[in-house]
Amino acid sequence: MRPLFTQERVAASAGLFLDGLVGGEQRKTGWMRAEAAGDPGPWRQQAILGRGRWDADGLRDIVRDYALETLADPDAVLVLDETGFLKQSKASCGVGGQYTGSAGKITNCQIGVFAAYVSRHGHAFIDRALYLPKAWTDDPARMAATHVPAGARFATKPRLALAMIARAIAANAPFAWVAADTVYGVGEIEKALRRAGKGYVLGVPGNHLFRSWGKRPPIAGMASEIAHALDPSSWKCLSAGEGTKGARLHDWAYCELADLDAAEYDDQRTGLWTRGLLIRRNIADGDIAFFSTWCPIGTSIEALVKVEGHRWAIEDGFETTKNELGLDHNETRSWHGWHRHVSLVMLAFAMMAAIRHHANATPPPKTNRRNTTSKTAKPHRY
């Protein structure tokens, strides 16, 4: 990341900032990072986030490219989700009364939208964006006070996620699938992924309408109605992957709705793809979740369940970065401060992902060392 900084001392401070994030201190506040760096106060650490002049989006791209060096895989899944940053002040950029799953309620917080790259090699964040509610984008004075770039406009969370997908594709990041919850499940994201030739498993609400064509028996109605009308034999108990307590087992059902030619969305692509409805039922309480799917024809329900199961990785990422790397310990109020802090945390997490992958790699097979002393060589005397 050295080329991002015009001065050597600022680059050195950024390196110490990163060292502080991966250090053993429980809190990653400015004073704590400064103490770990040997500084007399937090001013150098704060300058990295606020007064310094460097491009946080440039660091975002560095993080992505660095993560892909280790994690890249053609079958990878790009997972989209959001997390909250609880705040007491109303001056921090983007803060307001919003629902966040971090607290399970509407509370005073910032919301960040993230993209995680998940493959068989591990997972890391490769993109992020601070969500600005309309109460912010409609208030020019508030935007100026927190140094939001000129020209910034209101963007929904799905629109922010769509921009992340576009950046990943433009950077030639290899991935075959996108997975997300109901916030991102319908509309522009579906259309963009079909045009790009990417499969998806996207959450939808129970009242989302589905209709089949060219399939027997015909299916039509809300997702919840379709689920309750299924024959008991339609359900399979499958694992969405290994969790902290073992296999994450649920009952699953899959309804194929239509087979469509990829050329309908992009004339540069060929082949049949299947639109479908994937349904998950909790074994313990019967709670049901629904997912709109798009995949190459012949894709099995087991493969779709595995893709949906990759969503746990972004939750693991949020938990780890908040508990260990200070993701939510940002003390600045500006737009630049949030994006710089989060990008540095993303780099720290990507470093940990790379280390974990190499540490868990299968070691080369041991070979028996034979005495290669030639017959003419004299033996050593001890």
Lowest-confidence pick of 16-20, 179-183, 247-251 = 16-20
- What's the one-letter identity of residue 96? G
Helix axes 335-360, 8-22, angle to 10 degrees: 60
| Residue 306 in tokens | 């595995």
What per-residue confidence (pLDDT) applies to 375?
47
Measured over all CA atoms, what is the biggest interatomic distance in the chain, rounded to whole angstroms? 89
Residue 106 clears pLDDT 60, i.e. is over it: yes
| Residue 371 in tokens | 């005495």
Digit-coded pLDDT (tens) for 39-52: 766 656 677 887 66
Distance CA 241, CA 184 (A): 22
Distance CA 177, CA 168 (A): 12
Q: Which helix (H) or strand (E) holds 346?
A: helix 335-360
Mean pLDDT of 57-74: 97
Taking Cα atoms as reference points, which of 75, 68, 50, 157 lies closest to residue 113?
A: 157
Q: Which residue has the tokens 């994006």?
A: 339
| Residue 351 in tokens | 């470093």
Taking Cα atoms as reference points, which of 381, 347, 250 lies closest to residue 305?
A: 250
Beta-carbon contacts of residue 244 (< 8 Å; ≥ 6 apart): none
For strands 177-180 and 199-204, give the pairing: parallel
The overall average pLDDT reported for the chain is: 90
DSSP secondary structure code for residue 269 in this structure: -
- What's the one-letter identity of residue 84? G
Digit-coded pLDDT (tens) for 109-137: 999 999 999 999 999 999 999 999 999 99
What per-residue confidence (pLDDT) applies to 336?
93
**Whats the size of the chain, residue-wise?**
382
Q: Are 275 and 340 in contact (CB under 8 A)?
A: no
Between 84 and 28, the higher pLDDT residue: 84
Domain definitions of the chain by residue range: 55-181+315-361, 196-310
CB atoms within 10 A of CB 108: 17
